[in-house]
Amino acid sequence: MHDHGSKEGLSYRDSNLYKILLIGNPNVGKSALFGLLTGTYVTVSNYPGTTVEVTYGNAVLNKTRTLVIDTPGVNSLVPMSEDEKVTRDMLLSDRADVVVQVADTKNLRRGLLITLQLAEMAVPFILDLNMDDEARSRGIIINQEMLSQLLGVEVAKTVAIRRSGIDKLLKGIQHPRPSPVEVRYDDAIEGGIRDISALLPEANIARRAIALMVLSGDESLKGWLHANIQDHIVVDIEKIRQEVQSKYNNSLGFLINQRRIKKADEILAKVLSLHEAGQGSAIAFHIGRWSMHPVYGLPILFTVLYVVYQFVGVFGAGTAVNFLEKTVFGEYLNPWMTKIVHFIVPVPLFQELLIGDYGLFTMAVTYAIAIVLPIVGFFFIAFSLLEDSGYLPRLAVMVNKVFKIMGLNGKAVLPMILGLGCDTMATLTTRILETKKERILVTLLLALGVPCSAQLGVILGLVAGLSGLATFIWLGTLVAMMLLVGYLAAKIIPGEPSDFVLELPPIRVPQLSNILVKTIARVQWYLKEAVPLFILGTFILFVGHKVGALAYIQTITDPIVVNFLGLPSRAAEAFVIGFLRRDYGAAGLFMLSKEGLLDPTQIVVSLTVMTLFVPCIANFFMMVKERGMKTALYMAAFIFPFAFCVGGALNWVLRALQIEL
Amino acid sequence: MTRDREKGGSLMAEHKRIFGVEGQAGHPALCVLPEVEKEDELFEIIWTLREEGKPTLEHIVQNCTLTECEKILKDLATNGWIDLNGQTVELLPKGEKRARELVRRHRLSLRMFYDLFALDGAEAEACKFEHILSPEVTDSVCTLLGHPPNSPDGKPIPRGECCAMFRQEMKPLVAPLADLTPGEQAKIVFITPESHSRLDRLSAMGVVPGSVVKLHQKKPSYVIQLGETLIAVDKDITKEIFVKKI
């Protein structure tokens, strides 16, 4: 979601601040450490790929003004996806004073794979063994001093979420060193390294490391190569690579990694000792297993959905909204406001602007604070709990086969579920997907059919008043349309699907403090982003109402809204403001239904249209930024008529079959 | 099992198939080599027909396109390999042994081409192979392939001594990770990936020969564990990772 730290990275880049770069495997706690060092909150969750962008934060560490840089997690510094490339590029072109490699202590083997690559780069770094508590509870003890000796760099042990070990880490940060550890490869590969190194320019990292990236077949390095050396030399380098590759059956990238892992295993054998594991993790482990079980997995999924529905849809959208809207706003705030406005503002037009039917206070603020805020607030709490438990990636295991129909794999479930939080951020998260095809497909499906938290909350509120059959028809239509569009789009969009390889984090008990901080950060984001747009939307409606444009729009949209969709004329208003924010549009429907202007069939039809409807403005801009103007426009041009067609067809079918909802 | 290999070898050049692939009459193509191999072929036909329950003289002649079929059968009977007196053709003890070993080599060869080299319908190669394999090599191939119970076309592979030993001692064997039972641990021996990038990705997560993996579950998706890392993967990938149980 939009709760990132500062993003003004560019202005920091050339500053003379002391720079600390956080690097490590996915889901090892880099963001937690970042928050601890800078006091800036960035989303911390329990799944790989929470951070997809570089985040910058300021701190005073060891009495020095410092710029701390958080990066997306990587399994190798030869990137496989866009977010991994961001991290590698930071090392390649941004000179940090110290690199802090954060490693998951219980998965040190994979951490060392990165350590060895940092050693090859000859960058000054220190190693932080994070989540030491989890390793201990599993009976894994790492000999810190021995590891430090073997690697030739400082090694610290921390539990970032409990702030433990930070002092020692800060001490270590003062003494970064390049590691003297060297991995020797086959003679042919070493020959290739020598030949390529001779052609490479001076860079922030050792030529040997760049040569190894080239040999590993790193396509993403091409841009950098072309920018820094002449084209014909790039061609020569590629020739050397092919020559070395021709000597082996397996890919060079694999052979290089294999050699590194062997080295990592040698180191590990000297520093790792195994003891009796504690019982604590066993329960979590079993929960993790059941949640992916072919039989128990589904009931668990439905239970989770049901609990979220009860919490957000029934309690949040029902009880909390009723209290806020009827009692707080209806009985106190709005009457007070009316009195105050009448007293202070004598001009009727301005009175109406503030407190009329389309009043900025009576409509915009009431919608934003009384209806949507409680709903998204409760949703954010539920969502944060799910995020931190480690349950979400396990859903990928359950739905992998279904996603294959849409040319995707289970990994795509992560951005899709994040879309339930915020489609805008989820569109950014598509960077964790490996192929362009998958990124386009998920962007399209997010814009088409994944309702964001605000909208979903309002929808859950509306659905709560409907029969099970009506809910089923709405959900079934939505899922069917997503599958259909995904299936067809997968046929049309060129490119290959990628392998399903997804790391599953351990099931953890969510930390109350993180849930709280995260929810507050998200609510703040909601208020900052949504309220101004609600006010803008209301203002447009007010002006439209005053100059008669609203009535005019209703007249010209009547054939569609009234005849085709079978909805009351005023529903057009909801669609108009739905352009600004989908949740605002949904809230408009919510009000219509509360006033008793919609029958169940009309609710289902209008909900279906609203859910499939064009994405909100922020999401559209993100689509343009990530996928390009052309693709974004194509998608919008498809989605808009498609939503109405599906709504119209649904209306026709429901009425023709005389289905009582 | 003495055999005149030189003779067979010199005649290899003329080796041509007279049965179509996945033969007519429902029989897989059989192998044709003159002299001793002609006898071998009849043994294979008798064995295969016996599996189907109809090893009558009539059927055997039908399935055999060798011109001197009946003559060879009579010779075999004279030499005490088979018995032609009953309603069906019976294999006598030494004939039984020879047929059994022949069929075992043939079907194991098929299995090997299918599994290891991903060659489907490798009848011709299997035919050459079955005549080259010595008993020791046959058992090694059998062990390498994990003592497979069936040939790729589903016909049972007669068990050898190595299979019995395997059952008793649970000797380590190499099999695709996909074939493990959930909960089993194994060491990766080799990986035969479809694409280079797949292998690169896996190796970055620690999936390399020598690593110990545990198969957690197969449904709804495959989940494997390396050290403390759980990874969900496609089934196709687990078919390409060959492991040795530990």
For residue A373, which of A524, A513, A573, A582 has the smallest C-alpha distance? A524
> What average pLDDT is seen over chain A?
87
CB contact set of A487 (below 8 Å; sequence gap of 6+): A405, A406, A407
A293 touches chain B (CB under 8 A): yes
Tokens at A553, concatenated: 């729009």
Of A397, A409, A411, which to mutate for an interface test with B (greatest number of B Cβ within 10 Å)? A397
Q: Which of B200, B227, B229 sits opposite A254 (nearest CB)?
A: B200
Residues, chain A:
661
Q: Do B231 and A502 touch (CB under 8 A)?
A: yes
Contact between B186 and B245 under an 8 Å Cβ cutoff? The reply is yes
A337-347: per-residue pLDDT in tens? Answer: 888 888 888 88
- DSSP-assigned beta bridge partners for residue A59: A66
Tell the residue number behind the tokens 């599906």, with chain if given.
A646
Q: Do B232 and A217 touch (CB under 8 A)?
A: no
Q: Do A261 and B208 touch (CB under 8 A)?
A: yes
**B185-191 and B174-176 as β-strands: parallel, antiparallel, unpaired?**
unpaired
Contact between B192 and B236 under an 8 Å Cβ cutoff? The reply is no
Contact between A583 and A454 under an 8 Å Cβ cutoff? The reply is yes
Instruction: Report the alpha-carbon distance of residue B139 to residue A172 in Å, rounded.
Output: 58
With beta carbons under 8 A apart, name residues in chain B contacting A409: 234
A112-128: per-residue pLDDT in tens? Answer: 999 999 999 999 999 99
Residues, chain B:
246
As a three-state string, the secondary structure of A195-228 is HHHHHCCCCCCCHHHHHHHHHCCCHHHHHHHHHH
pLDDT, position B115: 73
Contact between A292 and A397 under an 8 Å Cβ cutoff? The reply is yes
Task: Number of A to B CB contacts under 8 A, please give it.
Answer: 128
d(CA B211, nearest CA chain A) in Å: 9
Q: Do A107 and B227 touch (CB under 8 A)?
A: yes
Tell me the helix, strand and coil percentages in chain B, rounded to 5. Answer: 50, 15, 35
Please give the radius of gyration of chain B, using alpha carbons only, rounded to the nearest integer.
21
SS3 B55: coil
A66-107: per-residue pLDDT in tens? Answer: 999 999 999 888 888 888 888 998 898 888 899 999 999 999
With beta carbons under 8 A apart, name residues in chain B contacting A289: 216-217
Of B191, B203, B219, B234, which to mutate for an interface test with A (greatest number of A Cβ within 10 Å)? B203
At A267, the pLDDT band (50, 70, 90 cuts) reads: very high
Tokens at A376, concatenated: 């998204």
Of A76, A257, A399, which to mutate for an interface test with B (greatest number of B Cβ within 10 Å)? A257
Please give the radius of gyration of chain A, using alpha carbons only, rounded to the nearest integer.
28
At A7, the pLDDT band (50, 70, 90 cuts) reads: very low
B117-140: per-residue pLDDT in tens? Answer: 766 666 777 777 777 788 778 888
Please report the ipTM that was assigned to this predicted complex: 0.82
pLDDT, position A337: 87
Instruction: Report the alpha-carbon distance of residue B117 to residue A139 in Å, rounded.
Output: 42
Instruction: Report the alpha-carbon distance of residue B110 to residue B103 in Å, rounded.
Output: 11
Which DSSP helix (H) or strand (E) runs through A357?
none
With beta carbons under 8 A apart, name residues in chain B contacting A294: 217, 219-220
Amino acid at A2: H
pLDDT, position B151: 79
Whole-angstrom CA distances from A414 to A113, A508, A635 are 26, 18, 21
- DSSP-assigned beta bridge partners for residue B231: A503, B224
Tokens at A459, concatenated: 């929808």
In A407-452, where does DSSP find H-type helix? 413-421, 423-429, 436-449
For residue A53, which of A429, A401, A500 has the smallest C-alpha distance? A429
The residue of chain A nearest to residue B234, with distances taken between CA atoms, is A500
**A64-70 and A18-24 as β-strands: parallel, antiparallel, unpaired?**
parallel
Whole-angstrom CA distances from B112 to A362, B60, B129 are 77, 28, 10
Q: Do A257 and B223 touch (CB under 8 A)?
A: no
A597-626: per-residue pLDDT in tens? Answer: 888 889 899 989 988 887 777 788 889 988
For residue B116, which of B81, B82, B141, B150 has the smallest C-alpha distance? B141
A506 touches chain B (CB under 8 A): yes
pLDDT, position A466: 82
CB contact set of A203 (below 8 Å; sequence gap of 6+): A92, A210, A228
As a three-state string, the secondary structure of A446-468 is HHHHCCCHHHHHHHHHHHCCCCH
Instruction: Report the alpha-carbon distance of residue A567 to residue A613 in Å, rounded.
Output: 16
With beta carbons under 8 A apart, name residues in chain A contacting B223: 292, 397, 504
Instruction: Report the alpha-carbon distance of residue A192 to residue A241 in Å, rounded.
Output: 7
Q: Which of A258, A397, A506 sits opposite B223 (nearest CB)?
A: A397
Which DSSP helix (H) or strand (E) runs through B224?
strand B222-226
Tell the residue number behind the tokens 């944060």, with chain if given.
A384
Q: Which of B196, B227, B237 sits opposite A499 (nearest CB)?
A: B237
A499 touches chain B (CB under 8 A): yes
DSSP per-residue string spanning A75-91:
SSSS-SSHHHHHHHHHH
Question: Residue A252 pLDDT more than 60?
Answer: yes
With beta carbons under 8 A apart, name residues in chain B contacting A135: 228
d(CA B189, nearest CA chain A) in Å: 13
Instruction: Report the alpha-carbon distance of residue A508 to residue A511 in Å, rounded.
Output: 9
The residue of chain B nearest to residue A264, with distances taken between CA atoms, is B206
Question: Residue A1 pLDDT more than 50?
Answer: no
Query: Pick the residue with more confidence: B40 or A646?
Result: A646
Question: Residue A220 pLDDT more than 70?
Answer: yes
Winning range, highest mean pLDDT, from A293-297, A533-537, B171-175:
A293-297
With beta carbons under 8 A apart, name residues in chain B contacting A250: 196, 199
**Environment class of A339 (CB within 10 Å of its CB; exposed 0-12, middle 13-18, buried 19+):** exposed
d(CA A534, nearest CA chain B) in Å: 42
What φ, ψ does residue A22 adopt, rounded to 5°?
Answer: -95, 125
Q: Which of B198, B208, B223 sits opposite A499 (nearest CB)?
A: B198
Tell the residue number behind the tokens 């169940």, with chain if given.
A600
| Maximum alpha-carbon separation in chain A | 88
**B82-83 and B90-91 as β-strands: parallel, antiparallel, unpaired?**
antiparallel
Query: Which stretches of chain B sit within 8 Å of chain A by CB?
Result: 196-206, 208-211, 216-217, 219-221, 223, 227-234, 236-237
SS3 A236: helix
CA A5 to chain centre: 14
Instruction: Report the alpha-carbon distance of residue A255 to residue A248 in Å, rounded.
Output: 9
CB contact set of B134 (below 8 Å; sequence gap of 6+): none
d(CA A286, nearest CA chain B) in Å: 12
Q: Do A501 and B233 touch (CB under 8 A)?
A: yes
d(CA A325, nearest CA chain B) in Å: 45
At B11, the pLDDT band (50, 70, 90 cuts) reads: very low
A262 touches chain B (CB under 8 A): yes
- Mean pLDDT across B37-55: 83
Q: Which of A76, A289, A501 sits opposite B231 (nearest CB)?
A: A501
Tell me the helix, strand and coil percentages in chain A, rounded to 5. Answer: 65, 10, 25
Q: Do A503 and B197 touch (CB under 8 A)?
A: no
Surface of A (388-447) touching B: CB under 8 A: 393, 396-401, 409-410
Classify the phi-psi angles of B227: left when phi > 0, otherwise alpha if psi is within -120 to 50, otherwise beta: left
At A477, the pLDDT band (50, 70, 90 cuts) reads: very high
Tell the residue number behind the tokens 């209301």, with chain if given.
A538
In B55-122, where does DSSP find H-type helix? 57-63, 69-78, 93-115
pLDDT, position A276: 80
Which DSSP helix (H) or strand (E) runs through B185?
strand B185-191
pLDDT, position B118: 64
d(CA B184, nearest CA chain A) in Å: 15
**B222-226 and B229-233 as β-strands: parallel, antiparallel, unpaired?**
antiparallel
Q: Which of B209, B223, B237 sits opposite A504 (nearest CB)?
A: B223
Q: What percent of chain A has pLDDT over 90?
A: 33
With beta carbons under 8 A apart, name residues in chain A contacting B221: 292, 396-398, 400-401, 410, 500
Q: Do B200 and A217 touch (CB under 8 A)?
A: yes
pLDDT, position B10: 33
Q: Do A217 and B209 touch (CB under 8 A)?
A: no
Contact between A452 and A484 under an 8 Å Cβ cutoff? The reply is no
Q: Do A257 and B227 touch (CB under 8 A)?
A: no
